[in-house]
Amino acid sequence: MKAEKRRRWIVTGASRGIGLAVAKRALAAGDRVALFARSPAVESLAGELGENALGVPVDVTDPVDIQQALEKVTATFGGVDVLVNNAGLHRGGLLETLSDDDWDAVLNVNLSAPFRLIRALRPNLSAGSAIVNVGAVVGFRGFAGDSPYGASKAGLAGLTRILAIELARHGIRVNLVVPGFVRTAMTAAVDERASERILKRIPMRREGVESEIAEVVFWVAGSSYMTGAVVPVDGGLSANL
SS3 139: helix
Summary count for the chain: helices (H), strands (E): 8, 7
How many other CB atoms are found less than 10 A from the CB of residue 71? 12
169 burial class (0-12, 13-18, 19+ CB within 10 angstroms)? exposed
Q: What are the angstrom distances between the C-alpha of 41 and each of 28, 89, 132, 150?
A: 21, 19, 24, 30
Please tell me what DSSP assigns to residue 88.
-
Catalytic residue list: 149
Beta-carbon contacts of residue 217 (< 8 Å; ≥ 6 apart): 18, 22, 25, 84, 132, 134, 177
Residue 101 CA to residue 104 CA, distance in Å, equals 5
Q: What are the angstrom distances between the C-alpha of 12 and each of 87, 110, 170?
A: 5, 11, 23
Residue 5 CA to residue 171 CA, distance in Å, equals 17
